[in-house]
Amino acid sequence: MTTTHTTAAPAAPVPSPVEPLPNQLLTALGQHRMATTGQLQALLRPAVRRQTVNTPLNELRRQDLVDYTVLPRSRGMRAWYLTGDGVRMVKDFPALRGRPPYPITSTTAASLKTPHTLTVLRTHLAFVADARERGDEHGFLDWTPEVSPALGDGEKIITDALMHYTLTGPGQRTKLRAFVEVDRTTMSSERLASKLIDYARLWSYEPKLVGRNRPQPALPGPAWLRWYPVFPRILFVLTGGSRQVLDNRISDLQAMVAQHPLVATMSRTVPLGAAILDDIEAQGPTSDVWVPLSGGESRPWTELL
């Protein structure tokens, strides 16, 4: 009696849903423009050794997809960015479609961008770490730098970052959004406070029809309804000065809310807050470190009124 054994055909390989680390590094640099090795580790692989991130970065550099500039007075700390070839490669990555490229053409150009770009990412990392600890959802693609909503008449407001954050609890998910302004005390306090006027203009801006043949807007009402179901809260993060200097700048923001009629009207429905970056990092962004710009005691950013 002959026994016949049937060998099953090998199963087709199933693509992994997890992007390999080199792809994640390219995506993160495409999203955030620039990051140090330590920031990339904290963003993508917080539980591994630095070398796990450093090795693929160096390989990507050998492929001329990334390069770095050495930060001054940092004992050789590197800030990485995409080269022209790297920008061309990532422009069709699904996570980055629609993001305008901002190629950095030289180490000199990179060094001019590092202080602000790395401080904005430093702010993001505080939210990322807090979300991991709390079990909330906020990853490296939930923070979009340099968003430019239109104000009409060809004007735009450039916000340092748009944040998406999902609070999770028993049987409940709350999606929050925020425009984040990171102030390094490089502009006057009055100019910083005047940004609230720009946000109030964005909050109230409705496209006007000109001529009988112009199409009707897709949605009636303010233009921001095209992108957000609720107008994002506005968060100011301050650093680069003494405690007294930063407290004074927060007071000037509060004065703008109290004195400017359009800003005051916006503040009745849009949560506005300011906090000092050192406090956010030391205590966490969901601690009582945010000063409500419309008045009241400090509280978590999630509970601003």
- pLDDT per residue as tens digits for the range 60-78: 999 999 999 999 888 889 9
State the burial class of residue 48 (Cβ atoms within 10 Å of its Cβ: 0-12, 13-18, 19+): exposed
Quick one: pLDDT at residue 219? 61
pLDDT of residue 9: 46
pLDDT at residue 25 in the model: 97
Cα 298 to Cα 84: distance, rounded to the nearest angstrom:
45
pLDDT for residue 2: 44
State what percent of residues in the chain have pLDDT above 70: 89
Q: Within a 10 A sphere around the Cβ of 156, how many other Cβ atoms?
A: 13
Quote the pLDDT of residue 13: 56
pLDDT of residue 239: 98
The parts of the chain modelled with pLDDT lower than 50 are 1-10, 12
The model's pLDDT over 170-207, given as tens digits with 9 standing for 90+, comes to: 889 999 999 999 999 999 999 999 999 999 999 999 98
